[in-house]
């Protein structure tokens, strides 16, 4: 079997893909370029295509199908960038990545701590040699109630790790997990928003979750509460978030992902005028942290993302079932 990988990073992912080709016995080729109709021909002769969070339109899927591609896998847990229904309609199986939850959970808690201790403002002031304390007092995580929205693998891991800080933990999920009940109290979303000092989002990027946190939800949150999002940008209505922060109702936010980030991450855009006003506004606010969707970025997680997507494509080629298939 041959796999073609698009948008493959030569400084980390390539090493893992090359090692896997020897371990699992497949051929591969790759490009650092993102997939487009203009470079779709690069996948000719390959049975599987491996991508990252790149939009997979019906036209692009058709182009791969016409080249003989029968399987597609994305090196991400989320797959909302792929037109799944069209892929099924043309007989193309789709896989996604799986990786240990600790990396994203660690990053999430780091964002909480940075927001609580006003780290962005502190470090910006230090850069201009302002070493004063005024306006920089923080809060202890132990003194907070943390609301975890979504208790899948990552959300449940966040709960386990938060338990060590001694804070009160609330959780909300349509499918409660028995293991999480030992350390968190399940409540409805309105109760969670009303009682939490920090709300952290770990819900999947499903259509029904689009803007699950909007103006109404921000209004229900506690005065001075913090929002953390290391899941999907589409979960939050960005305009409503900016309004809630500018009004002073929300105490701040720590965001690893925002709406309309396609075309920004993971590229060097230092010389460009970016057509993304939401990000510019958020980045300008002293109480908002915006990082470039990299909560997953650990050696352990990157290796797992490459491995699980390769294993999915190999299973597709053999006509076998795989736990990494999008069903």
- Cβ proximity of 58 and 92 under 8 Å: no
**Nearest by Cα to 154 from 67, 55, 230, 71:** 230
- Residue 238: what are its φ and ψ, rounded to 5°? -60, -40
45: region left, alpha or beta (phi > 0 left; psi from -120 to 50 alpha): left
Active site residue 261: yes
Out of 9, 96, 232, 279, the active site residue is 232
Out of 13, 259, 261, 311, the active site residue is 261
Rounded CA gap, 278 and 59, in Å?
29
Rounded CA gap, 2 and 44, in Å?
10
Residue 11 in tokens: 């400084």
Active site residue 168: no
Out of 9, 96, 293, 307, the active site residue is 293
Residue 43 in tokens: 């996948």
DSSP states of 114-154 as a string? HHHTTHHHHHHHHHTT----TT-----GGGSEEEEE--SHH
Burial state string for 281-291 with b = 16 or more CB within 10 A and e = fewer than 16: bbeebeebbbb
Active site residue 293: yes
Positions marked catalytic: 232, 261, 293
């Amino acid at each position: 079997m041959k796999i073609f990988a698009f948008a493959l990073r030569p400084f980390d992912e390539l090493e893992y893909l090359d090692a896997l080709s020897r371990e699992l016995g497949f051929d591969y080729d790759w490009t650092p370029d993102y997939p487009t109709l203009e470079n779709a021909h690069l996948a000719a002769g390959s049975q599987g295509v491996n991508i990252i969070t790149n939009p997979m339109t019906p036209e692009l899927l058709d182009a791969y199908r016409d080249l003989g591609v029968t399987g597609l896998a994305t090196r991400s847990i989320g797959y909302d960038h792929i037109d799944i229904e069209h892929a099924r309609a043309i007989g193309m199986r789709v896989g996604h990545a799986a990786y240990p939850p600790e990396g994203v959970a660690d990053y999430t808690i780091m964002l909480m701590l940075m927001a609580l201790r006003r780290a962005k403002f502190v470090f910006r002031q230090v850069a201009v040699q302002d070493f004063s304390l005024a306006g920089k007092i923080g809060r202890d995580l132990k003194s907070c109630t943390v609301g975890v929205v979504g208790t899948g693998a990552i959300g449940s891991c966040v709960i386990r790790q938060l338990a060590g800080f001694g804070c009160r933990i609330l959780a909300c999920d349509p499918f409660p997990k028995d293991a999480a009940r030992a350390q968190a109290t399940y409540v409805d979303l309105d109760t969670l928003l009303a009682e939490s000092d920090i709300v952290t989002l770990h819900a999947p990027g499903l259509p029904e979750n689009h803007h699950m946190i909007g103006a109404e939800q921000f209004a229900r949150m506690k005065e001075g509460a913090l929002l953390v999002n290391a899941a999907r940008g589409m979960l939050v209505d960005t305009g409503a978030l900016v309004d809630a922060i500018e009004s002073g109702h929300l105490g701040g936010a720590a965001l690893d992902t925002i709406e309309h980030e396609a075309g920004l991450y993971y590229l060097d855009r230092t010389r460009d005028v970016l057509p993304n006003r939401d990000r510019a506004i958020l980045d300008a606010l002293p109480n908002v942290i915006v990082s470039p969707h990299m909560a997953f970025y650990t050696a352990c997680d990157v290796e797992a993302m490459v491995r699980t997507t390769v294993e999915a494509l190999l299973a597709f080629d053999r006509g076998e079932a795989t736990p990494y298939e999008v069903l």
